[in-house]
């Protein structure tokens, strides 16, 4: 298998049900914009999936985080605690509100926000905490909820990467005051672009719906009591979303199946890499099967070697405190920086076969062993 070459994408949407049928209905009925039966149906079914009262569809995951923050009335002068190791949209949405993200380091096992470091980041301006379920593993929420209660802070879940993940038996999206999801093309459930806000709070849901649609009063057309946003989802996107949610168990099961194949075929390589950890209280969604290479391996060289074999990979996100819009002189978050320098996301999607995973795993092991020899020879000179 090592001598052959395949083209394996790092991510790919899977259409397992009524996607084509529902989109064709949109075209035939001409309901293609932000009004149509699929929007309400998608919201209802996604709320049912997450075990929450309300789900409000919007155009992107970034918009969902922004709306969640606005739903909690974050504004100018506020501070919001955010993990540094996440996609930049989490922090950008805080800035959209005129507030400031305060970055906290990760813990090494799950790569998520470290609860033990949160309290030292709290100031009189702190309003809340965004808990990001990174790469599909849920955050340890109980200690964060205890801290939030002690300091009268809200919690927002950024569940963009964690459809179907569970914490102590409860689905993400139902673990805090409000949560945000993404349905970008590489996500577990996809509408191409799209997002969702979930909550059990009727006041938050009402405010999010108002702001999603330019701030127009739902009972008085073209009357705008405040400035809103054009964050609406289209009926076509919702049609895709409804079809995806109808097959949610199959999508979730496919991710688990791919992850188990990786564990099986990389299990002998743990001297070379840390495999994803699933805590005993967690049900990992495996948006991405993300490994962390040992310090003596050259991550970028390993990724180039995989690319030469037709295997797409992605590096772990840059820690946000190292990026130009958010860089602060002297700030060091060692765990996030270490993971970002060594982390690699392997191909993870529902269309992979076990042969594909074997191909990735065998090539990864061979390339890492070669990189290890090169590093050893360099060290002995």
Q: Residue-wise pLDDT tens for the chain (381 aa)?
A: 566 778 999 999 999 999 999 999 999 999 999 999 999 999 999 999 999 999 999 999 999 999 999 999 999 999 999 999 999 999 999 999 999 999 999 999 999 999 999 999 999 999 999 999 999 999 999 999 999 999 999 999 999 999 999 999 999 999 999 999 999 999 999 999 999 999 999 999 999 999 999 999 988 999 999 999 999 999 999 999 999 999 999 999 999 999 999 999 999 999 999 999 999 999 999 999 999 999 999 999 999 999 999 999 999 999 999 999 999 878 999 999 999 999 999 999 999 999 999 999 999 999 999 887 877 666 666
Q: Which of 53, 67, 46, 42 is nearest to 201 (CA)?
A: 53
**CATH class assigned to 248-380:** alpha beta
User: Left if phi > 0, otherwise alpha if psi is -120 to 50, otherwise beta: which for 378?
Assistant: alpha
Which residues lie below 8 Å from residue 136, measured CB to CB, with a gap of 6+? 161, 162, 165, 188, 255, 284, 285, 286, 287, 288
pLDDT of residue 5: 77
**Nearest-CA neighbor of 362 among 316, 317, 326, 309?**
309
Residue ranges matching CATH 3.90.1150.10 in the chain: 248-380
Global confidence as pTM: 0.95
List CB contacts of 256: < 8 A, sequence separation 6 or more: 286
C-alpha dihedral, 77 to 78 to 81 to 87, nearest 10°: -70
Which of 55, 14, 19 is CA-nearest to residue 242?
19
**For the packed helices 37-50 and 235-246, what is the interaxial angle rounded to 10 degrees?**
40
Dist CA 376 CA 381 (whole Å): 9
What local confidence, expressed as pLDDT, does residue 136 receive? 98
Q: Kindly list the distances between the CA atom of residue 371 and the CA atoms of 266, 274, 296, 304, 366, in Å, as whole numbers in the listed order.
A: 17, 16, 8, 11, 9
Quick one: DSSP state of residue 137? P
User: What's the rounded Cα separation, in Å, for the pair 49 and 275?
Assistant: 29
Please give the C-alpha separations between residue 163 and each of 16, 53, 187, 350, in angstroms, as whole numbers.
16, 17, 8, 14
Q: What's residue 373's pLDDT?
A: 80
pLDDT of amino acid 380: 65
Q: Domain 19-246's class? A: alpha beta
pLDDT of residue 377: 67
The ranges of the chain annotated as CATH 3.40.640.10 are 19-246
pLDDT computed for residue 370 by the predictor: 87
Residues 130, 132, 277: CA angle, nearest 5 degrees = 145
Tokens of 314: 């992605």
């Amino acid at each position: 298998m090592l001598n052959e070459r395949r083209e394996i994408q790092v991510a790919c949407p899977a259409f397992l049900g009524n996607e084509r049928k529902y989109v064709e209905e949109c075209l035939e009925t001409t309901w293609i914009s932000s009004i149509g039966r699929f929007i309400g149906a998608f919201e209802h079914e996604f709320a049912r999936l997450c075990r929450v009262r309300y789900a409000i569809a919007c155009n992107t995951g970034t918009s969902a985080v922004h709306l969640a923050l606005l739903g909690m009335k974050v504004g100018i002068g506020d501070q919001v605690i955010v993990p540094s190791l996440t996609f930049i949209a989490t922090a950008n949405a805080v800035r959209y509100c005129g507030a400031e993200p305060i970055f906290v380091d990760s813990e090494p096992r799950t790569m998520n926000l470290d609860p033990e470091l949160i309290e030292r980041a709290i100031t009189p301006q702190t309003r809340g905490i965004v808990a990001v379920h990174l790469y599909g593993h849920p955050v340890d929420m109980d200690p964060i909820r205890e801290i939030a209660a002690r300091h009268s802070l809200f919690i927002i879940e950024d569940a963009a990467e964690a459809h179907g993940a569970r914490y102590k038996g409860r689905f993400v999206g139902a673990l805090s005051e409000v949560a945000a999801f993404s349905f970008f093309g590489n996500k577990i459930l996809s509408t191409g672009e799209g997002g969702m806000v979930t909550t059990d709070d009727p006041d938050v849901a009402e405010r999010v719906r108002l702001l999603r649609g330019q701030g127009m009063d739902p009972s008085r057309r073209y009357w705008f009591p405040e400035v809103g946003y054009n964050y609406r989802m289209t009926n076509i996107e919702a049609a895709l979303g409804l079809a995806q949610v109808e097959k949610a168990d199959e999508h979730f099961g496919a991710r688990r199946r791919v992850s188990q194949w990786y564990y099986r075929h990389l299990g002998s390589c743990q001297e070379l890499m840390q495999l994803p950890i699933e805590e005993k209280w967690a049900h990992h969604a495996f948006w991405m099967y993300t490994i962390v290479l040992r310090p003596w391996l050259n991550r970028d060289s390993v990724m180039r070697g995989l690319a030469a074999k037709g295997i797409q990979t992605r590096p772990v996100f840059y820690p946000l405190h190292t990026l130009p819009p958010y860089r602060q002189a002297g700030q060091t978050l060692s765990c996030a920086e270490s993971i970002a320098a060594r982390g690699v996301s392997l191909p993870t999607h529902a269309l992979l076969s076990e042969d594909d995973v074997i191909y990735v795993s065998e090539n990864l092991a061979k390339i890492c062993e070669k990189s290890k020899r090169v590093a050893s020879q360099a060290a002995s000179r």
